[in-house]
Structure 1
Amino acid sequence: MNSAARCAAAVMAAGLLPFVAPSAPAGAVPVAPGAGAPALERMRREVAAATGSPDVPCWRDITIRSAANGRYVSAEIGWDGPFYGALRARATSVGPWERFIVCRDTGSGVTRIRAQANNDFVSAELDYAGARYGLLRAQSETVGGWERYYSNREPGGNFSFYARDTRRWVSAEVTFRGRAYGTLRARATSVGAEETFSW
């Protein structure tokens, strides 16, 4: 059993949100194979190569909303330095920074996320310490270990997602204050409200 399948099995065995068949999320646009931009097709092929799946669905215009505060996740591309592209659950409405492309293999849950605002992949940053450890940022042009996730539901419902290289669930840090409020970090070992989102 490969690592993706082991993660999927562990999620189901732990009684977390079950894997379900694909559904068309409201407002999201399913992108048929061959119909997307070259970057989207590369993203789809990379997930297919990682999973061995011949058919990987992708969606455009996906929003991500935190169950902990009801806010939409934004890719903060107006910031500079180490916070450029930071993902934060802070928006009360949807604009360009709150739209993402998601490709997800149904069988394994292997997921890639790309911000439409800057067309960069979402990374879990492991080279920071303290409160910035595992910070999710839309800042990568390529996919490596930091850009690999597993999610336990297709777009269209509540889900949680897991960063492969931190082996941790992604949290919306709603207890942080100021600029750090609502930042997404791959740091949790269990799933609660801060680790629950809706596509």
Structure 2
Amino acid sequence: MTSVFLSLSAVVAVSALASPTAGAAPAADRPAAAPSGWEAVDGAELARVAEKSDTRQAPLAAGEGVSATAAETELLALQSARNGQFVATEMNYAAPNTGVLRARSADVGGAWEGFAFEWDETSETFAMKSLANNRYVAVEKNFTGSTQNVLRARSATAGGWERFVLYYNEGLDRWALQSTLNGLFVTMENGYTGSLQYALRARSTEITGSWEEFVLYDLGA
């Protein structure tokens, strides 16, 4: 298992992180312009990063591993830069929160912390499929209150609700996800309490800091 570091051959020099200029939400059928200091990554670039990255072991639970059954995709684990925890699919949560994504695992214990990133050339976006339940991650735009726009692995197919743009910042060596459904960046809700503490929600108009930043680990090695 390797940490995914930058290894892109055609990357322009990036500046220090700055807040992007406010503007209209991007159209749902195409990725928005990259925020300042961040570059959108496509499927081929992500594959090259995983193949050529420097090796760094992610903490695996004793006796556990991830089965690489989706060989046509990049199998990754996401670690929140905010709390240092890995994102898990909450399979045992009761409806309607079954499958909510939450940064709460100290290590990669298995499929619960694994995701297949599938690149779509037409839309130039990624879909994320949870290895825990073989379901695509959707942005729950119609949820209300504190769960509105929560990320949940519940879809059998990938449509507009399940599409994301993946960004990389070389200076920070971190990644960010933007939902194409609402044009907002995925945030780890560190300030929540209870069962939804550390839940992932697409609700930020900017990448303001570690709340929207993640480290990716390659599970295919």
Question: Unaligned regions of 5+ residues in structure 1, if any?
Answer: 29-35, 45-57
One-letter code aligned to 1:17: W
Higher helix share: 1
User: Are the counterparts in 2 of residues 59 and 101 from structure 1 also a CA contact under 8 Å?
Assistant: yes
Instruction: Give the Å deviation of 1:122.
Output: 0.3
Aligned to 2:104: 90
Aligned to 1:18: 39
Q: 1:124 aligns with which of 126, 139, 148?
A: 139
Residues matched between the structures, number: 166
One-letter code aligned to 1:18: E
Is residue 2:177 matched to residue 1:161? yes
CA distance 1:93–1:159, shift in 2 (3 Å): same
TM-score between both structures, scaled by the size of structure 1: 0.74
CA distance 1:67–1:108, shift in 2 (3 Å): farther
Q: Distance in 1 between matches of 2:166 and 2:200?
A: 15
CA distance 1:182–1:122, shift in 2 (3 Å): same
Q: Distance in 1 between matches of 2:112 and 2:130?
A: 7
1:62-112 deviations in Å (ceiling 9; x for gaps):
100101111000000011201100000111011220011112368975111
User: Secondary structure at the residue paired with 1:63?
Assistant: strand
Instruction: Give the Å deviation of 1:153.
Output: 3.6
Question: Unaligned regions of 5+ residues in structure 2, if any?
Answer: 1-26, 59-67, 217-221
Aligned to 1:101: 116
TM-score between both structures, scaled by the size of structure 2: 0.67
Aligned to 1:52: none
Instruction: Give the Å deviation of 1:15.
Output: 1.1
One-letter code aligned to 2:148: Y
CA distance 1:109–1:171, shift in 2 (3 Å): farther
Aligned to 2:128: 113
Q: Distance in 2 between matches of 1:92 and 1:118?
A: 20
Aligned to 2:161: 146
Aligned to 1:80: 94
Q: Distance in 2 between matches of 1:174 and 1:104?
A: 29
User: Are the counterparts in 2 of residues 109 and 151 from structure 1 also a CA contact under 8 Å?
Assistant: no
C-alpha RMSD over aligned residues = 2.7
User: Are the counterparts in 1 of residues 40 and 165 from structure 2 also a CA contact under 8 Å?
Assistant: no
Q: Distance in 1 between matches of 2:99 and 2:30?
A: 27
